[in-house]
Structure 1
């Protein structure tokens, strides 16, 4: 018979999901490696005889290196491909994570945290470039939201794991142990990843077709362009997003860096209770950040409106948190603050990834993230100084609330839909 039954084709695991999974692991360990110091900080301060300002500077030195190499790291990924850059970066920072536990000198530890930050700086641009390369536009918000769950799970796991290891073996062992997994992840990326989806041996034709259709929809040239970094710097949306992320990260890194110390010093919690309660807001945020990316995909033309109201709601929750005398209410409001802030963050990075073309995604996203890194340098150190001089955490909380309000005001200035704001290269840049 000529007519044959057409059996349904079996749904296969797509290559882009594997890429996202490995990127997720990279981000997870990047956050674990950088965040365990927030739990260890009181013990490092006691061991090395450091005041609050010196402890804040120790937190900030990571961000000095992280900010300095963000844009160069993104440009390297655009030029040489994300595979090589990300794999070397993961191995680099993993080595310096382990070395942190072997340092007995404060100046040397400051230097090591700076060099550690240089390595992690290459990850953001490279990972966002990978998402823009392997995922069609319609799924980039959700993919970015899933990847960004490490922004919540990382601190949560760091709080619990670090508290347990420090309680049993001391603060040095936790750094030595945390550096090991990244070595294997970096080697895997070098051996298995491909910069061009067409070169991946397991890529499906249906995936390539989606990407090709997406490229046509974005009116991209089939020839390889020569992209000028100056062209990128002329686009208003780049600076709008950079300012939004700067002020948002003033709050995020202030909240993340000093929350454990706040619970120990202000609320009198034990080490293990601090680990547990510090983890709660990030577990809540894990759901929120994926939800933010998903909602942003559903209302693609209005991605900024996922960010604005939730950032403001996060600031309101922070206000009630530091005004509360009851530990129960403090925990409740810190979870609410985290929920709204991470919901806003999921929407924001969906906007970023959907606004820059894939070929300059690493440079564009790295520039935005660079401003967040500068905020990460300023915020922990400034909060430490404010806490030491004022004798309380109140003024530092007010600073975080104001920063969220400013980020929301800047977000309002973004006009049009993401596709209207997407960077378009001038004709003379096409070859």
Structure 2
């Protein structure tokens, strides 16, 4: 018997769902590299095109217009045709328009290119969260989503360092061509390795399928799977999480988009120093992101209590950052802010994936992420306007994103998590 258990543990050491998560992670990493290098290139694009801060912010916002418009349709397609098919096509599409960004020579064409790039990335969030909901049992979804979300931190970190190195040596255009190529290869891997239905995967074990089946029996499937999207639209949790993510992403995209320019234009950092110091908060956030997801799984019924205190501390530290008298303190504060903000983010998506029905996870999570896409469109542009209106002063812009974090925490207070209660009630019903 002991030999059998030892053999079973060996067979389960690396599970199919880990391979799925790895490919999803790589896909997300490429998506963030493709969208983040423009924040480093932005000052140079502004000089080449002779445009001001507001117009530069509009270049970033153009991506989010396309990203927001096709977010929900992309999720619907993933639910209907399978996340594997939709994701494979999407990554090929956005990789092409990433490369085209490097050969654009007019401002209107740049806006159009970034808009079409955004359309290509739009199906990714819903498709990937559906992949996690399909392959991972409820008890591991917070950790899985937080691991996937480490690209939100590693992506900007890698992008800023790589982009700064390439731009300083070759100019801003080659960087977009270089990072667009790997996406085509990953698209083929996703198509050939992942299956939309876990039972169709040739390498999945009976033990893994039993875990997923057990999850369904205790409320994650049979009760929730029959809920239609129209019914989900009437549930408060969908709109609460959408608003939370909207205000959180006001801060995230405002911070991410304008931090390099702030360090260069206000604090006097060189290009390479900006690349290094812009990367620091994201490297720290990579660790705290996973820890936040882990804590979220330990507090399944109360995931919001991981999120709320962390975003509030992050808001206070952001406020302190722009008032710091020295560059050393600026770097210190931005790292502390990232520590708490990304721990909060790691816990948030565990709440989303564990609260919405798996059958329509792509569509439902796309609604939530669409809130973040709208924020991504608004925040860089609004901050650009605030900076211009202040004569190059970033004070009002940083206050704007700190307040957004506080609002997201206030909305999170209204969330009533019922995942554990649902499982207990279902178990009691079965026993009865």
**CA–CA separation in structure 1 for the residues paired with 2:23 and 2:129:** 13
**CA–CA separation in structure 1 for the residues paired with 2:201 and 2:247:** 39
**CA–CA separation in structure 1 for the residues paired with 2:373 and 2:29:** 17
Equivalence for 1:390: 390
SS in 1 for 2:334: helix
Superimposed CA distance per residue, residues 362-384 of structure 1 (whole angstroms, 9 cap, x where no aligned partner): 11110000000000000000000
Map 1:368-379 to 2 at 5 A: 368-379=368-379
Aligned-residue offset at 1:250: 0.5
Q: Is the contact between residue 20 and residue 147 of structure 1 (CA under 8 Å) also seen in structure 2?
A: yes
- Unaligned segments of structure 2, at least 5 residues: 424-432
Aligned pairs, number: 419
* TM-score normalized by the length of structure 2: 0.94
Superimposed CA distance per residue, residues 277-333 of structure 1 (whole angstroms, 9 cap, x where no aligned partner): 000000000001100000010111110001000000000110110010200000000
RMSD of aligned C-alpha atoms? 1.7
SS in 2 for 1:241: helix
Distance 1:47 1:210, change over 3 A: same
Q: Is the contact between residue 90 and residue 120 of structure 2 (CA under 8 Å) also seen in structure 1?
A: yes
- Unaligned segments of structure 1, at least 5 residues: 423-431
Superimposed CA distance per residue, residues 204-245 of structure 1 (whole angstroms, 9 cap, x where no aligned partner): 1110000000010116339985x6432121111100010100
Distance 1:238 1:28, change over 3 A: same
Distance 1:30 1:5, change over 3 A: closer
**CA–CA separation in structure 1 for the residues paired with 2:2 and 2:233:** 58
Q: Is the contact between residue 237 and residue 421 of structure 1 (CA under 8 Å) also seen in structure 2?
A: no
Superimposed CA distance per residue, residues 400-424 of structure 1 (whole angstroms, 9 cap, x where no aligned partner): 11101110000000124345589xx
* TM-score normalized by the length of structure 1: 0.95
Equivalence for 1:192: 193
Q: Is the contact between residue 220 and residue 358 of structure 2 (CA under 8 Å) also seen in structure 1?
A: no
Distance 1:244 1:6, change over 3 A: closer
Aligned-residue offset at 1:269: 0.5
Map 1:220-259 to 2 at 5 A: 220-221=221-222, 225=226, 228-259=228-259
Equivalence for 1:366: 366
Equivalence for 1:325: 325
Superimposed CA distance per residue, residues 43-92 of structure 1 (whole angstroms, 9 cap, x where no aligned partner): 00001111001001011000000011111111111111100001100111
Q: Is the contact between residue 34 and residue 180 of structure 2 (CA under 8 Å) also seen in structure 1?
A: yes
Equivalence for 1:268: 268
SS in 1 for 2:6: coil
Aligned-residue offset at 1:190: 1.2
Q: Is the contact between residue 351 and residue 418 of structure 1 (CA under 8 Å) also seen in structure 2?
A: no
Equivalence for 1:182: 183
Equivalence for 1:81: 82
Distance 1:7 1:265, change over 3 A: closer
